[in-house]
Structure 1
């Protein structure tokens, strides 16, 4: 009996020791995690107020208490400027006081932190704080002849017959009709997109939605067009360049390498030749086409897009008063003249800066006629906009510069820790907001 008891005790000890070593091994394999957040959940402060960036380092869910974190504060523009006045330095990982920053001007400050693990792996994290962002103003005023210029462009477009060409697209939903559409336009390319609508739709029964694309070169999206149609809408998705839809991948690669290479900077020396002029006229022409269809209800026109598409949505709302609703996710094409005001400009960084730190004067002047901020100042449609506070592609200051100019009912969806992204939950919010707009317009609430 004694031998059996001793054996059982020894077995228990071995099992316990084995489990302990296993737990240590698992913990040792757990990765380090570095995180930085603001002391306010919304990351929004008044000017002159102090924002605190709180840094944590964990391993296996446990807080790391030894080590240093390198930090640098910047305004998205002066990150590499060793002579800037923004705070930078190191703090201990267990410093509970955080990193303090403030701004006397409306705008955003970014905090980037770095931690090196014992095995020399470098971790990085970023957070940002907004200071009175609803007071961010345009970097330059709207040109005096802005409205006259675009009135003339639309008048020239109106002389061009639509002559739409529709080709039926086969798909599995028998309740939906789909078409590949091309419509004549100015600007060197037609409107090219997919149209979808409920098969049994009656005349003057459907609100219309136009889906527009982010940067890049690709086919129109049949899935987007069908999403709107399945929700009882006249729904059209257009690609940004008026190119053919549904082609093999090599076709789009050839476009990127050929005629559309670096399109975002093409013709930027003049408002007459700048590439975005044609893109914006295609928005107007797509709306011309949608409103010509007998099923359109005569009331609702919405434009939805993200990034470059978000910028296009802002433009559509300002260039065409038939638009009643826009949804602009992390909008690009905003605040081209930001550098003239000493702040970061939005994608596509249209205006180059010389060695003297000053923006190119000729391109700066042309850019003002295609700046979505200026179109936003003419927009009276209802609007919903999203912004990522750590977005370095379409910086939050450029998004707010446009948002603050909108005249209609508007809502900003803020994501303090989001970069340049269009996550599904924001897409869902946008579409739900549009559906509410439709109900409101039809008096169904």
Structure 2
């Protein structure tokens, strides 16, 4: 049953779309060299020796130990974050966990992990959170999302995706048993919400080390449509910038999460919202619509919005995520 949400936004965060409407949102085909561009980005990331360094033990809870960690990524950037290891015994599953815009300053609700006996790396991608602040990259989301946007080679989003790939490299170096658990190499899972969801959609098609993904209210879906929709958050900054610099419409198609989703070949669970003032639902559902076989949908009433049912909805989603990874990775 759909919940009527009371809000004071000067626009409708449901954008007048029903669930049936959202499931028919089209997916941009993308530039002809979309695949070539991203495969080259991935090759460059794989060439980086991650040189991970494990720091102090931060806490022990829920059957895991949490450590500070850092590793090398593309462009000479050293990424900081957290490493989660089982308190006892070897790891049987591995996860890379992205974050929303604004970064993360601690390991929070991502622990406990979706599966027991798991290891995970939780990076703060370049410019985000206290662990990966950089002098030349803004840390405020509305400025970060515009950094280097004049060209596909310089756009910061490409570097952020690379930070996820190099996070996987660092995790596999630190927890080598993860690469020995299955025939054919590692079978990692990816989780990401909002900003991290969009980055995940861009990262998953090219990296065969990931066997499954889970994307919650993913951003960067269907840029041509997003540019026509009023919203809050980082998307509003891109929309304003495009109005003043329409030439960025030639860059954004390379970073469209919905286009990338059409290239994903692993089981992927998308949690998409019917109401979201920061990441318009049409863009979220475009990411889901782009996926092929193995896609699963978990419908949320709202994203990026506090309402009376948010805790219960989060609990239901957590249960769905555990069930999903238990089936595809367990």
Give the alignment's TM-score, normalised by structure 2. 0.80
* Distance of aligned partners of 1:285 and 1:187 in 2 relative to their CA distance in 1, 3 Å threshold: same
Residue by residue, what CA displacement relative to the aligned partner does 1:388-442 show, whole Å, maximum 9, x if unpaired? 32312111111111110112422222234x2524844444444433433443346
Structure-2 separation of matches of 1:197 and 1:256: 31
Conserved? CA contact 1:189–1:243, under 8 Å: no
Does residue 1:136 correspond to 2:25, yes or no? Answer: yes
Conserved? CA contact 1:195–1:225, under 8 Å: no
Structure-1 separation of matches of 2:5 and 2:229: 26
* Distance of aligned partners of 1:301 and 1:339 in 2 relative to their CA distance in 1, 3 Å threshold: closer
Does residue 1:295 correspond to 2:180, yes or no? Answer: no
Structure-2 separation of matches of 1:382 and 1:440: 10
- CA shift, 1:191, in A, is 2.8
Structure-1 separation of matches of 2:123 and 2:218: 17
* Aligned 1:41-440 pairs, distance under 5 A: 41-42=1-2, 109-110=15-16, 129-138=18-27, 140-173=28-61, 176-187=64-75, 189-202=77-90, 205-219=91-105, 221-224=106-109, 226-228=111-113, 231-241=116-126, 259-261=138-140, 262-292=143-173, 293-296=175-178, 297-298=181-182, 300-338=187-225, 347-349=234-236, 350-351=238-239, 352-354=241-243, 360=246, 362-416=247-301, 418-421=302-305, 423-440=310-327
Structure-2 separation of matches of 1:258 and 1:290: 25
Q: Of Structure 1 and Structure 2, which has the larger fraction of its residues in helix? A: 2
For residue 265 of structure 1, give the secondary structure of its aligned residue in structure 2.
coil
Structure-1 separation of matches of 2:129 and 2:279: 28
Q: Of Structure 1 and Structure 2, which has the larger fraction of its residues in strand? A: 1
* Distance of aligned partners of 1:383 and 1:424 in 2 relative to their CA distance in 1, 3 Å threshold: farther
* Aligned 1:14-25 pairs, distance under 5 A: none
User: Is there any run of 5+ residues in structure 1 with no aligned partner, and where?
Assistant: 1-40, 44-53, 57-71, 77-107, 111-127
Larger deviation: 364-373 or 407-416? Answer: 407-416
Conserved? CA contact 1:301–1:323, under 8 Å: yes
- CA shift, 1:159, in A, is 2.2
For residue 161 of structure 1, give the secondary structure of its aligned residue in structure 2.
coil
Over the aligned positions, Cα root-mean-square deviation in angstroms equals 3.5
- CA shift, 1:269, in A, is 1.0
User: Is there any run of 5+ residues in structure 2 with no aligned partner, and where?
Assistant: none
Structure-2 separation of matches of 1:229 and 1:308: 20
Equivalent in the alignment of 1:101: none
For residue 168 of structure 1, give the secondary structure of its aligned residue in structure 2.
strand
- CA shift, 1:291, in A, is 2.9
* Distance of aligned partners of 1:275 and 1:207 in 2 relative to their CA distance in 1, 3 Å threshold: same
Residue by residue, what CA displacement relative to the aligned partner does 1:10-29 show, whole Å, maximum 9, x if unpaired? xxxxxxxxxxxxxxxxxxxx
Residue by residue, what CA displacement relative to the aligned partner does 1:275-313 show, whole Å, maximum 9, x if unpaired? 101100001111122233223134532222221122123
Conserved? CA contact 2:103–2:129, under 8 Å: no
Number of matched pairs: 313
Give the alignment's TM-score, normalised by structure 1. 0.61
Conserved? CA contact 1:335–1:401, under 8 Å: yes
Structure-1 separation of matches of 2:32 and 2:131: 42
Conserved? CA contact 2:69–2:83, under 8 Å: yes
